[in-house]
């Protein structure tokens, strides 16, 4: 049984028009008008494929294809929201490969013992509302529903109000439920598959991640008449920390990454010495103990940077997840499907968080990666060759058939 | 003849309520509703003082007290706009001391040969619309009226439209005119007067200033799966440059200052490697040739920072003014007034730009500084002791009497 490459490509082209940027990328922030239109399109396709479509309290959309027995479903999922000026592959490729797998089951009039469900999770990116993966987090019981509703975007708009506004505040409880297995196809977002010429990554788990928020408080002053000798410039301390963060991985682990992605200066005008800088630090490694060592190095670097400029600081380690191993049975089903298709694959860890991470807390979960050209993602240049997408989608279909019986 | 300290203090308290922040500072952006209310209050006081009030095409407000002869006026001016979360002394103190000087002339029924004019210039700060000192710049013929009207704030709103909206798009041409002398009282915004226990600075001129805009373009990518070895992070290059800018003054001149005040990261989210950073560089020194040397050092530092991270850059030196010397006659009148009052004063250069800088291009100009506590300005903590303000206002009055004859 093989997916229909042309149909998949046509759906990909069509969905990609919703929120398309001038340079061929995607801006489709969670619960925006563009997100609503993409959801509406997906729901229409799901209904046309004969699925029973429902929406839960977090706005996640589920479409179920019945099985022959009253058993928990095999769920395939991903998301249709994007980062600002992101790409067309992150998220929606997983949703469309899952839809294509179901359409193929329909074409073949295939019967499975377990139902097969397509899931579209709300606000995976965390670009508009924090934290990321908020809907699967609520489903897994890791985030309170009220906290999720009260998440606000940078304009102060509540997630709960936006769900209602776009018509996706659903009735179904967003709680753990029996699920046979959860499978997510996603772009790698790193360079390894492409570098090694492989079409498929059999994902064994997700690396440990720590997010910190750092605030330096100096003395805001006029850039003209304030002599260098009396300055306490928050941006100087921040700049020292940006460089220190870059140096941390080399001191800890070859697989570690460390990033300052966000940095906001106040008052942020040309002729004022910055009085305040708020910045993010993102540290990831396969080993949790390496993350712990890196956070200790970060604390030392921040202390030094603040002391050398005479500014105050606050460092909050506000989010941390250990290595998430995927379920051996699901990883095995993915590997078996790839092997029997004869595609070039490798086992791999995910450096990025995905809804599969929360789903792994409530059911056997696994992921399938396809290559990212030049390792690029979260940018308009995201690209995966159609040959690799076809191999990935067939691997997904094979794994689902194996798990759904 | 002496000003009325209590009346000055009362007006200062009253005007300071318009746009007051919770912590006692001021947010009164140019042409905002708060700016309009402050203008209305000033115009009412000016009319009550018997001045003939007019508004020019740039919204600057002028109030004239007639002289005994048909001669050009002695003009005292400053501004009532502020930076965001700025202080109550920058700008409005100069306007209120000028008003108090005129009220004192009225009290004493003093006659002057030259008219005495109070001027309130539009958008001195440049915090909302760039460039700064836009209205005096138009008056001096340095900025085209149409360019000024087309300046837009960060929400895309035109300066010309806002002038009309708040009712301050006046009929009088904004062009050079005969002016006997221009005098501006302002806070020092630096620490020197306070450190030396002096009440008044006799300002000899304004330092040379260069503003540059720097853009680093790296490769935006996902912070998780992108190995350190393939990164081209625009923020790393920016951080290196922030530190390099800090190091420049020590290599060039003890009176030089160099500041990165503005820094904007794209896409500015926790889990994306910054693809683009736009930042400002502000360099000032009494000597123009020192500024030239500093800009050469900046260019080298930027080139090195970009090369070491493998990112592109664009460096634009978009605004530069040489040292502005004030007119010896006006500086002499200020010094003479301070001396005859017996106040502690010193000659000083201004590190900040002021409307007096543009006015110096079309008439004899000078300034009077009063101390800034801890050298602080452009912040809610701005403060000048009332004793110093009284000395400054009396120095202004004395200089005006000398120049107006």
Is residue A226 within 8 A of residue B189, CB to CB? The reply is yes
Phi-psi region of B240 (alpha: psi -120 to 50; beta: other; left: phi over 0): alpha
Q: Are B135 and B174 in contact (CB under 8 A)?
A: yes
- How many angstroms away from the CA of A233 is the closest CA of chain B? 9
What is the distance between the alpha carbons of residues B227 and A188, in angstroms, rounded to a whole number?
Answer: 12
Rounded Cα distance, B329 and A122, in Å: 71
| B295 φ, ψ (degrees, to nearest 5) | -65, -35
- The closest CB to that of A235, out of B127, B263, B372, belongs to B263
Residues of B in contact with A252 (CB under 8 A): none
**Are residues A143 and A266 located together in one domain of the fold?**
no
Q: Do B220 and A379 touch (CB under 8 A)?
A: yes
For strands A312-321 and A208-217, give the pairing. Answer: antiparallel
Burial state string for A289-313 with b = 16 or more CB within 10 A and e = fewer than 16: ebbebbbebbeebbeebbeebebeb
DSSP B325-374: EPPHHHHHHHHHHHHHHT--EEEEEESS--HHHHHTTTS-EEEEEE--GG
Which H or E element spans position B213?
strand B208-217
Cβ(B382)–Cβ(B89) below 8 Å:
yes
In a shared domain, residues A88 and A105 = yes
Count residue pairs from A and B with Cβ separation < 8 A: 228
Which residue from B127, B221, B261 is facing A273, i.e. has the nearest CB? B261
Question: For residue A401, what is the enclosing H or E element?
Answer: helix A386-404
Q: Which of B222, B257, B324, B354 to mutate to test the interface with A (most CBs of A within 10 A)?
A: B222
Chain A neighbors of B227, CB-CB under 8 A: 190-191, 257, 375
Same domain, A52 and A185: yes
* Residues of chain A contacting residue B235, judged by C-beta atoms under 8 Å apart: 242, 260, 263
Yes or no, beta carbons of B85 and A240 under 8 Å apart: no
CATH code for position B371: 3.40.630.10
Residue in the structure block whose two tokens are 């992101």? A86
State which residues form the domain around A301.
208-321
From the list B190, B219, B261, which residue is nearest A270 (CB)? B261
| B127 contact residues in A (CB cutoff 8 A) | 269
B201 in contact with chain A, both atoms CB, cutoff 8 A: no
- The reply to whether A394 and A272 lie within a common domain is no
Number of H helices, E strands in chain B: 12, 16
Q: Are residues A50 and A106 in the same domain?
A: yes
CB B137 within 8 A of CB B359: no
Token pair 């806002």: residue: B162
Contact in structure between B364 and B353 (CB atoms under 8 Å): no
Instruction: Output the pTM of the full model.
Output: 0.83
Cβ distance B224 to A189 less than 8 Å, yes or no, reads: yes
Q: Which of A126, A220, A375 sits opposite B379 (nearest CB)?
A: A220
Q: How far apart are CA B21 and CA A220, in angstroms?
A: 16
- H or E stretch at A128: none
Chain A, window 12-41: residues with a beta carbon less than 8 angstroms from a chain B beta carbon: none
Contact B65, B115 (CB under 8 A): yes
**Domain tally for chain B?**
2
Residues A19 and A116 in one domain: yes
> Going by C-beta distance under 8 Å and a sequence separation of 6 or more, which residues neighbour residue A70?
none
- What is the Cα–Cα distance from A362 to A364, expressed in whole angstroms? 7
> Do residue B147 and residue B20 come from a single domain?
yes
Task: Identify the CA nearest to B256 among candidates B245, B267, B240.
Answer: B245
Last residue of a domain, one of A299, A321, A343: A321
CA atoms within 13 A on the CB side of A153: 17
- What is the rounded CA–CA span in Å between residue B226 and residue B208? 45
A10: which residues sit within 8 A by CB, 6+ positions away?
A: none
A190 interaction partners in chain B (CB closer than 8 Å): 222, 224-227
B interface mutation test: which of A210, A378, A384 has the most B CBs within 10 A? A378
Whether the CB of B133 is below 8 Å from some CB of chain A: the reply is no
Q: Rg (Cα) of chain A, in Å, rounded? A: 22
pLDDT of residue A378: 86
Whether B200 and B308 share a structural domain: no
- The answer to whether the Cβ–Cβ distance between A260 and B235 falls below 8 Å is yes
Under 8 Å between Cβ of B232 and B219: yes
Q: For residue A237, which of B242, B106, B393 has the smallest C-alpha distance?
A: B242
**Is A233 in contact with B259 (Cβ distance < 8 A)?**
yes
Helices (H), A257-359: 288-309, 328-341, 355-359
CA atoms within 13 A on the CB side of B139: 32
**C-alpha to C-alpha distance for A13 and A224, rounded to whole angstroms:** 54
A323 vs B: CB within 8 A: no
Nearest CB to B269 within list A127, A257, A353: A127
Whether residues A139 and A244 share a domain: the answer is no
Phi (first) and psi of residue A167, to 5 degrees: 80, 25
Token pair in block for residue A135: 């809907």
Tell whether B258 is within 8 A of chain A (Cβ).
yes
CB contact residues (below 8 A), chain B span 340-359, against chain A: 350-353
List C-alpha distances in Å: B39 to A153, A404, B136: 36, 74, 17
Are residues B252 and B311 both part of a single domain? yes
Contacting residues of A for B260, CB less than 8 Å apart: 235, 274
Residues 49-108, chain A, touching B (beta carbon < 8 A): 83-85
Radius of gyration of chain B from Cα atoms?
Answer: 23
Provide the b/e sequence for A84-99 (b: ≥16 CB within 10 Å): bbbbbbbbbbbbbbbb
3-state secondary structure of A63: strand
Kindly report the CATH number assigned to the domain that includes residue A242: 3.30.70.360
Residue B271: predicted pLDDT: 87
Residue A146's CB is within 10 A of a number of other CB atoms, namely 9
Tokens for A70?
């009253």
For chain A, say whether B238 makes contact (Cβ under 8 Å). Answer: yes
Q: Say which residue the tokens 């994306």 belong to.
A: B272
- Tell whether A76 and A200 lie within a shared domain: yes
Q: Kindly give the parts of chain B with pLDDT less than 70.
A: none
Query: Would the CB atoms of A226 and B189 count as touching at under 8 Å?
Result: yes
State the best of A128, A186, A213, A222 to mutate against chain B, taking most chain B CBs within 10 Å.
A222
Q: How many CB atoms lie within 10 A of CB A155?
A: 6
Domain end marker among B301, B321, B341 = B321
ipTM of the complex in this document: 0.84
* DSSP summary character for residue A172: B
Contacts of B292 (CB under 8 A, 6+ apart): none
- CB–CB of B268 and A262 under 8 A? yes
For B98, the token pair is 């000028």
Task: For B246-311, list the strands marked E by DSSP.
Answer: 257-259, 263-266, 272-273, 276-285
Chain B hits for A230, CB-CB cut-off 8 Å, are 191, 375
Provide the residue-wise pLDDT of chain A in tens; the chain has 405 residues: 999 999 999 999 999 999 999 999 999 999 999 999 999 999 999 999 999 999 999 999 999 999 999 999 999 999 999 999 999 999 999 999 999 999 999 999 999 999 999 999 999 999 899 889 999 999 999 999 999 999 999 899 999 999 999 999 999 999 999 999 999 999 999 999 999 999 999 999 999 999 999 999 999 989 999 999 999 999 999 999 999 999 999 999 999 999 999 999 999 989 899 999 999 999 999 999 999 999 999 999 999 999 999 999 999 999 898 999 999 999 999 999 999 999 999 999 999 999 999 999 999 999 999 999 999 988 899 999 999 999 999 999 999 999 999
Chain B interface includes A250 (CB < 8 A): yes
Terminal-to-terminal C-alpha distance of chain B: 14
For residue B90, what is the nearest residue in chain A, using CA coordinates? A222
Measured between CA atoms, the residue of chain A closest to residue B284 is A224
Write out the two tokens for A224.
Answer: 């003209």
Roughly what angle, to the nearest 10 degrees, separates helices B33-48 and B5-15?
150
Q: CA-CA distance, B367 to B177, in Å (whole number)? A: 20
Contact A259 B243 (CB under 8 A): no
Give the residue from B261, B292, B321 where a domain finishes: B321
A224 to B282: CB separation less than 8 angstroms, yes or no:
yes
Kindly state the DSSP code that residue A319 receives in the 8-state scheme.
E
> In angstroms, rounded to a whole number, what is the distance separating the alpha carbons of residues A347 and A340?
15
Tell me the shortest Cα–Cα distance from A228 to chain B, in angstroms.
6
Residues B377 and B303 in one domain: no
Q: Is B154 exposed, middle or buried (0-12, 13-18, 19+ CB in 10 A)?
A: exposed
d(CA A372, CA B230): 14
Strands A200-206 and A345-350: parallel
Establish how many alpha carbons lie within 13 A of residue B395's alpha carbon, considering only the half-sphere containing its beta carbon: 35
Does B223 contact A268 at a Cβ distance shorter than 8 Å? no
The first and second tokens of residue B372, run together, are 């800034």
Q: Of all helices (H) and strands (E), which one includes residue B320?
A: strand B312-321
Instruction: Count Cβ atoms within 10 A of the Cβ of residue B307 and give its class: 0-12 exposed, 13-18 middle, 19 or more buried.
Output: exposed
- State residue B127's pLDDT score: 87
């Amino acid at each position: 049984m093989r997916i229909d490459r042309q149909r998949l490509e046509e759906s990909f082209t069509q969905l990609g028009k919703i929120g398309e940027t001038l340079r061929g990328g995607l801006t489709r922030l969670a619960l925006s008008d563009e997100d609503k239109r993409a959801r509406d399109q997906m729901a229409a396709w799901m209904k046309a494929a004969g699925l029973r479509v429902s929406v839960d309290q977090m706005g996640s959309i589920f479409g179920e294809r019945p099985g022959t027995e009253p058993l928990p479903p095999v769920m395939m999922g991903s998301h249709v929201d994007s980062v600002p000026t992101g790409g067309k592959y992150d998220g929606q490729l997983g949703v469309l490969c899952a839809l294509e797998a179901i359409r193929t089951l329909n074409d073949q009039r295939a019967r499975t013992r377990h139902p097969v469900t397509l899931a579209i999770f709300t606000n995976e990116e965390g670009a508009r509302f924090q934290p990321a993966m908020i809907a699967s987090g609520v489903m897994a019981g890791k985030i309170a529903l009220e906290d999720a509703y009260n998440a606000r975007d940078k304009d102060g708009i509540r997630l709960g109000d936006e769900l209602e506004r776009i018509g996706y505040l659903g009735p179904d409880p967003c709680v753990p439920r029996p699920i046979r297995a959860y499978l997510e196809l996603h772009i790698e977002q790193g360079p390894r598959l492409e570098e090694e010429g492989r079409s498929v990554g059999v994902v064994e788990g997700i690396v440990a991640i720590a997010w910190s928020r750092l605030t330096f408080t100096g003395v805001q002053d006029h850039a003209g008449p304030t002599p260098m000798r009396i300055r306490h410039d928050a941006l100087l301390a921040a700049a020292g920390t940006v460089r220190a963060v870059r140096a941390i991985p080399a001191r800890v682990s070859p697989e570690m990454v460390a990033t300052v992605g966000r940095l906001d200066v106040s008052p942020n005008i040309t002729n004022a010495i910055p009085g305040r800088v708020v910045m993010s630090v993102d540290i990831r490694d396969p080993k949790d103990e390496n993350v712990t060592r890196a956070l200790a190095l970060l604390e030392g670097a921040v202390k030094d940077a603040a002391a050398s400029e005479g500014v105050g600081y606050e460092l909050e380690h506000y989010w941390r997840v250990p290595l998430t191993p995927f379920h051996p049975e699901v990883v095995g089903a993915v590997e078996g499907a790839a092997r029997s298709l004869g595609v070039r694959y490798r086992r791999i860890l995910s450096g990025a968080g995905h809804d599969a991470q929360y789903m792994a807390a409530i059911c056997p979960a696994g992921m399938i990666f396809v290559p990212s050209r030049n390792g690029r993602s979260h940018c308009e240049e995201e690209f995966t060759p159609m040959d690799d997408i076809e191999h990935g989608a067939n691997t997904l279909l094979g794994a689902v058939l194996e798990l759904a019986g």
